[in-house]
Each structure stands twice: as C-alpha cells, then as structure tokens.
C-alpha cells in the first residue's frame, strides 16, 4: 500500500499502532463519563430535552458535517490522511441521515419502565418503588454540598420521604413526553435507547443487566411529611391544649395519637389551609370505625370519649391528587376531664 515510499509506510505504521491502543474514555459507560449533561440546569436546555425537541433529521445534516470537515483543524490533504478524512466524513453523513437513535415510537421498554414507576408512586407502593432503584444509589439534594448515598433497600425505607419527597413523586407522576406543536409539559419525560429521564431530568434510570433501574436522583421539595407515621401527642406541664404544625402529602393523612381516659373530652381543630382541602376524622387506634363528633364543618371535631385508650386524630386530604403536593395546616388538640 505504501508503494515503496518509506515515509508513507512509517506514517501508516504509526496510525495502525495508535488504532491498537485502548482509550480510557471507552472503558466506562457513556452516562458515567458525561453525567453533567444530565444534571438539571435552570439556564440551559438539557441534552435529552434537545433530542426531544429537535427531529432526528435535523440533528445532523450533510451541510453541518461539511462545515466541520472544512473548519480549522479539519482534513489535511496528504496522500493517506486525505483518503481517511474523506471516508470519516462520508460515513458520518450517512449515519446522521439514518438517525442512530431509535424513533420515539419504538421505545417500548423505556416507556414501560416510566409507566411502572408512575403507577407505583400513584399507588403509594414503597416496596415497588424500592425495587426499581439500583443500589447503592446516589441522591443529590439541593442546598447540600455532597450527594447522599443510599446503601440498600433498608436504608431507603428509613429515608424514603427525604429521598422521594411529595414534590419528587408528583413530578414523576406528572411527567409527559413532549409532543410537537403542543405546549411543553410541566414535567418532561424523555426517552433514549437504554435511558429514561423523568421530572425534567431529576430522575434518571438506565438499563443494567437487562432491566431498568433508577441510578441517579435529584431530590427537592418538602422533606417533613410523615406518610403513614402518626405523631404521639403530649400535653406538657398538664396543659390541656397543644398546637402543632403539620403537612399533608399527596396521599394519606397527617395523623396524631392522643392517649385519653374514659370520660375525657377531646377537641381537635385545624386552620391555616385552603378552604375545602382538608378535613378531620377520629377513631380508636387499630379500628376501622370512625367516631361521630360535633363541631364546625370539617375543621373541628369534638366529643366525650366513652373508653380509655389511644385515639387516632387524622387530618385527611380532600384536595385533588398532587394539587398541590403538600398542604400545610395548624392543628389544635385539647383533652379535658
């Protein structure tokens, strides 16, 4: 091939030697090397959002590659390198025209994972959500300098409401794929081969070992909700009344436990919330029967208790799911003989 040209032969041997070397950039998955491209940014358009916004045919064009090929630092028209550069340019234009990324309509596995995760959040199924996370998981929390690492499912159970806050859960459930000609979704769902991005890039899942799992998460929103965890109430110094601040998440209720004696008068009242969004109910702890009580509408409950024991006072959500993700309130509890 060198046709007796020693200089050309030496150049060819050098290039073949370079081709045989391993490149450390190719030894790790692309999404580990370029994680910053998936970080949600306020001032720039995420990479996956660009892919969703720009049709495949417009991402790479022959004119675009021609500009690259003819820009400074492009091809040197030497005997061997000119042929190689022309080959690379032609091959790149061909790949761009064919669009290497699968069409959005073919992303069945990616879309199925997104639907499964959304259903798990919507149903409040923590175990199902935990099964869709790859451990150890990295969780970035706003206003914290370092990420949190979740070791395993047991660790996630302990910090579930801090990792998957109501705002994160609602953003995932609300995520939709952009549609040409329609307004941009409030929370975008973006799909690429082997990658799923939900909640505007805050939740990233990748295909590993034949299945999709969440590998990176940026948490945000209210971390103070206690879904399914009632708060014991005490009356310090014998005071008959206490006031507590509470928050009701998108599912369930904000619950309080009051220990009472037979004949005690229990009164609960809530305020500081949008009208019609919350209501009160009271039951014996462990019972499915709610007690009748007098009061003013849904914001006050009071009655004299006939039995001693633990009573569950619940502030229940009446507002639509995730509108808003969290509703704040102040509850006043009184227990008198």
pLDDT tens profile 310-327: 999 999 999 999 999 999
The mean pLDDT of 62-87, rounded to a whole number, is 38
What pLDDT, on the 0 to 100 scale, is given for residue 293? 85
Domains of the chain: 18-98 (no CATH), 104-219 (3.10.450), 231-336 (2.60.120.380)
- Is 72's pLDDT higher than 50? no
3-state secondary structure of 50: helix
Residue recorded with tokens 């009748």: 292
- Is 171's pLDDT higher than 80? yes
Interatomic CA distance for residues 239 and 287, integer angstroms? 28
pLDDT averaged over every residue in the chain = 78
The mean pLDDT of 7-28, rounded to a whole number, is 60
What letter does residue 307 receive in the DSSP assignment? S
Interatomic CA distance for residues 295 and 266, integer angstroms? 11
pLDDT band at 101 (very low <50, low <70, confident <90, very high): very low
The mean pLDDT of 76-92, rounded to a whole number, is 35
What pLDDT, on the 0 to 100 scale, is given for residue 253? 87
Higher pLDDT, 111 or 68: 111
Q: What is the pTM of this model?
A: 0.66
Higher pLDDT, 140 or 9: 140
What pLDDT, on the 0 to 100 scale, is given for residue 23? 53
- Is 296's pLDDT higher than 80? no
pLDDT tens profile 49-59: 544 454 444 44
List, in sequence order, the alpha helices (H) in the chain: 6-20, 30-33, 47-53, 56-59, 62-70, 79-98, 108-123, 126-130, 153-158, 160-163, 166-173
pLDDT tens profile 236-275: 888 999 999 999 999 878 999 999 999 999 999 999 999 9
């Amino acid at each position: 091939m060198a046709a007796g040209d020693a200089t050309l032969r030496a150049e060819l041997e050098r290039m073949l030697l370079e081709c045989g070397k391993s490149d450390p950039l190719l030894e790790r998955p692309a999404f580990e090397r370029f994680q910053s491209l998936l970080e949600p940014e306020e001032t720039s358009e995420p990479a996956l959002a660009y892919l969703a916004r720009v049709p495949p045919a417009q991402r790479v064009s022959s004119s675009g590659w021609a500009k690259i090929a003819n820009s400074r630092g492009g091809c040197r028209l030497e005997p061997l390198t000119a042929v190689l550069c022309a080959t690379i340019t032609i091959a790149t234009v061909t790949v761009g025209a064919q669009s290497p990324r699968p069409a959005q309509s073919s992303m069945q596995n990616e879309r199925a994972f997104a639907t499964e995760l959304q259903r798990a959040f919507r149903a409040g199924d923590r175990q199902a959500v935990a099964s869709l996370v790859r451990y150890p998981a990295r969780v970035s929390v706003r206003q914290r300098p370092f990420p949190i690492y979740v070791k395993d499912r047991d660790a996630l159970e302990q910090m579930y409401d801090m990792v998957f806050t109501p705002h994160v859960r609602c953003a995932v459930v609300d995520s939709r794929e952009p549609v040409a000609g329609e307004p941009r979704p409030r929370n975008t769902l973006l799909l690429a081969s082997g990658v799923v991005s939900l909640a505007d890039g805050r939740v990233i899942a990748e295909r590993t070992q034949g299945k999709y799992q969440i590998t990176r998460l940026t948490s945000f929103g209210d971390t103070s909700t206690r879904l399914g965890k009632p708060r014991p109430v005490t009356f310090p110094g014998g005071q008959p009344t206490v006031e507590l601040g509470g928050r009701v998440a998108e599912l369930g209720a904000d619950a309080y436990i009051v220990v009472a004696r037979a004949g005690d008068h229990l009164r609960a009242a809530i305020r500081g919330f949008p009208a019609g969004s919350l209501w009160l109910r009271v039951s014996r702890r462990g019972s499915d029967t709610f007690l009748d009580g007098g009061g003013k509408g849904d914001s006050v409950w009071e009655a004299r208790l006939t039995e001693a024991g633990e009573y569950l006072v619940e502030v229940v959500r009446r507002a639509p799911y995730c509108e808003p993700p969290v509703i704040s309130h102040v509850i006043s509890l009184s227990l008198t003989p």
